[in-house]
Amino acid sequence: MQAPWGIVDAERSWYVSAEEPEEAEAEELSPLLSNELYRQESPGVSFGFSVFNLMNAIMGSGILGLAYVMAHTGILGFSFLLLIVALLASYSVHLLLSMCIQTGDGCRYHPNSEYWRSWYLDGQTLLIIICVGIVFPLALLPKIGFLGYTSSLSFFFMVFFALVIVIKKWSIPCPLPLIYAEQYFQISNATDDCKPKLFHFSKESVYAIPTMAFSFLCHTSILPIYCELQSPSKKRMQNATHTAIALSFLIYFISALFGYLTFYDKVASELLQGYSIYLPRDVVILTVKLCILFAVLLTVPLIHFPARKALMMMFFSNFPFSWIRHSLITLALNIIIVLLALYVPDIRNIFGVVGSSTSACLIFVFPGLFYLKLSREDFLSWKKLGAFVLLIFGILVGNFSLALIIFNWINK
């Protein structure tokens, strides 16, 4: 029996003969591939490029704040929390993909609906030039699969960043020297400062889960990547997600651990600040700064696709596709991003507020809530109980963290 949620998309020349949702889920087939009837203009994005795109969506500026989080939770405390957030992020993606199978709405998506003063060494000027010359053109691309090449480049930049953090651990002595230190840190020469802590909690620990949630957020890009995946199926996309999250976890942990073991309790909220103080003219550090800049910037176009798609659906769903509208929305999103980058004084505030509000909702609250609402399973089923736990965890942790962050601001 043909279900009413079968999809016909004349513009992209595909046809889907969809089965009942229960049967499709049992076979773990995408709504685009039920009965293996799938025809599309392009062959789709390879599994490897899909993993790179997911990792690019996951790994961004969050990697710069994780060493600070480890300094305020301890090595074991950090490891436990990071693992929990990674597992919950993976599980919430599983719920999202399950909802795609049950509702058939996952790919109802059209990709086109979407100390010097020289100017060239000024950070703000360079940011604007790079956004105009690199980020904006990439964000204009009609398909998210095109970003597989830039995403793979971003991945290697992040690996290089982690390797440099490991190597430079032995270039900065501990206790930290007093030279330059008064700019950012209050330094003592006590050798106790060079002992790593397994567990450590302070008022700054409140930034831990929000920063981790911010660091693992890729859920807005899941469906666009899923739709363009070569031979898309729930199992194949889930494998891509597991691979991306596992590799991201490894890179996060290594960079956070060795960043912490370099500066210990004196690690800055943005890790590279410490290297700017103690190794200001180190060529390798300058190179890794450039790499992390491009890695983070290459993440921005990937986030543009779901953001622009959401705006299109809310305000222009009844209008035909227009390159002018497409370009103007992309430009507006770019301007907002540049303004935030220029005028937010401390990246920790972005991690804290966005992580405890938007990221918590997208990773924990919304997947759990929507699965409870849309799934036809019994409430006592394992998936629905898991969705309920995810929902409650997101509400409690998100609101509690945000309240404590605001309380810290008021006290300061």
Report the length, in residues, of the chain: 412
Angle at CA of residue 258, ends 254 and 261, nearest 5°? 145
CB 351 within 8 A of CB 214: yes
Residue with tokens 């003592």: 188
Those residues whose C-beta lies under 8 Å from the C-beta of residue 25, and which sit 6 or more positions away, are 98, 101, 102, 234
The CA dihedral of 60, 61, 65, 66, to the nearest 10 degrees, is 10
Token pair in block for residue 213: 């949630």
CA distance 226 to 240: 10
**Bond preceding residue 301 cis, omega within 30 of 0:** no
Name which of 306, 395, 408, 303 is nearest 352 in CA terms: 408
CA distance 190 to 183: 19
pLDDT tens for the chain, 412 residues long, are 333 333 333 333 333 333 334 334 433 444 433 333 333 445 677 788 788 888 878 887 788 889 999 999 999 999 999 999 999 999 998 888 888 776 665 555 444 444 336 544 455 565 566 666 666 676 666 566 566 677 778 888 889 999 999 999 988 888 777 654 444 444 455 566 788 888 988 888 888 999 999 889 888 778 878 877 878 788 888 898 999 999 999 999 999 999 999 998 888 888 888 888 888 888 898 888 888 877 777 777 777 777 787 788 888 878 887 888 878 888 888 788 777 777 766 678 778 888 888 888 888 998 898 888 888 888 788 888 999 999 999 999 999 988 988 888 888 6
Whole-Å CA distances, 113 to 132, 138, 304:
21, 15, 11
